[in-house]
Amino acid sequence: MADQLYLSLWFPNFRFDTLPATMVSVMRQFALISGEKRVAAASVYPISFTEAPTYQRIYVNDDRAEENQDTSGSIIENAVAEATEQLHDDMAYEFEMRWKLWSPEVDPNYPNPDIDPDSDIDPEYQSTALDPLWKLQLSTVRILGFGPKFDDASFDQNGHIRVDFGLDTPWLAETLEDEQLDAAATKHIQQNVEMLLAFTLSVEKNCGISSRLLWTESGEPLAQKLIDRLQRVN
């Protein structure tokens, strides 16, 4: 079952007034690894995530972003400076960025035997249709910085900064059946894992963290889930 994947970061002797600079540092590492150097959206939440955001901005990052000065706000430093202009210790500051991960696509026109068990399928077509086509797809990552009073000081558990990767599907390919997890699929999963590890290690090396934790919402380690997944087909 797909699971939410997070990276929590803690910093030594952390002072809240350094949060903007600390977030810029982490976001720069993400931009370096992903090649996507601009912020897609920014939000500021008061008290807890159950409250409506007090600030939101969505950036247009297309070809115009390189030519039009009006889109310069999506540059990391500018986006963080604008969102954190009013820095409050009971708020969380969220920035969306994107990277490209390998994702499988199965022919949507292929008959589903669960729906139509009597469908007449050409065996040759069946063989090729079941082979997924892997493509690089944009995936959203949310990088959050927490005020010490936000959500009852949840940064003790979440980290001073938390990176939300979304569902762990790109690293497990659980949308595929075991028989579809061939050498090509394994290669693309490995490439996604390498991206995740490269970002994590880059943050560890360059951002001065005291500790980090890669974790899933269910509590099951991603590495163990990946091992179990591969063992089922090997």
Report pLDDT digits (tens) over 61-102.
655 555 555 567 789 999 999 999 989 999 999 999 999 999
The percent of residues in the chain predicted with pLDDT above 70, rounded, is 82
Q: Residue 127: inside a domain, yes or no? A: no
Q: Residue 120: inside a domain, yes or no? A: no
| Residue 35 vs residues 38, 106, 166, 191, 193: alpha-carbon distances, Å | 9, 27, 19, 15, 16
Q: Specify the pTM.
A: 0.84
Full strand arrangement of the beta sheet holding 211-216: 55-58, 41-46, 91-105, 133-146, 161-167, 4-10, 211-216
- Please tell me the predicted confidence (pLDDT) of residue 126: 47
Q: Residue 114: inside a domain, yes or no? A: no
**Residue 125 pLDDT > 80:** no
∠ CA 160-163-165, rounded to 5°: 165
Q: Residue 119: inside a domain, yes or no? A: no
Q: Residue 118: inside a domain, yes or no? A: no
- Count, residues in the chain: 234
Q: Compare 233 and 170 and report the one with higher pLDDT.
A: 170
Q: Which residues contact 30 (CB under 8 A, 6 or more apart)?
A: 97, 99, 141, 143, 163, 199
Q: What is the pLDDT of residues 160-210, one digit of tens each?
A: 999 999 999 999 887 777 777 788 888 999 999 999 999 999 999 999 999
Q: What is the pLDDT of residues 22-56, one digit of tens each?
A: 999 999 999 999 999 999 999 999 999 999 999 99
**Residue 8 pLDDT > 90:** yes
- Please tell me the predicted confidence (pLDDT) of residue 119: 52
Q: Compare 223 and 53 and report the one with higher pLDDT.
A: 53
- Please tell me the predicted confidence (pLDDT) of residue 224: 83
Give the residue-averaged pLDDT of 105-133: 56
Give the residue-averaged pLDDT of 111-131: 52
* Structural domain for 45, as ranges: 4-104+134-231
Nearest in space to 91 (alpha carbons), one of 24, 38, 148, 129: 148
Q: Residue 148: inside a domain, yes or no? A: yes
| Other CB atoms within 10 Å distance of the CB of residue 132 | 21
**Residue 124 pLDDT > 90:** no
Give the residue-averaged pLDDT of 110-128: 50
**Residue 114 pLDDT > 80:** no
Q: Residue 72: inside a domain, yes or no? A: yes
- Please tell me the predicted confidence (pLDDT) of residue 183: 86
> What is the Cα–Cα distance from 210 to 116, expressed in whole angstroms?
56
Give the chain's domain count. Answer: 1
Q: Residue 111: inside a domain, yes or no? A: no
- Please tell me the predicted confidence (pLDDT) of residue 90: 94
**Residue 117 pLDDT > 80:** no
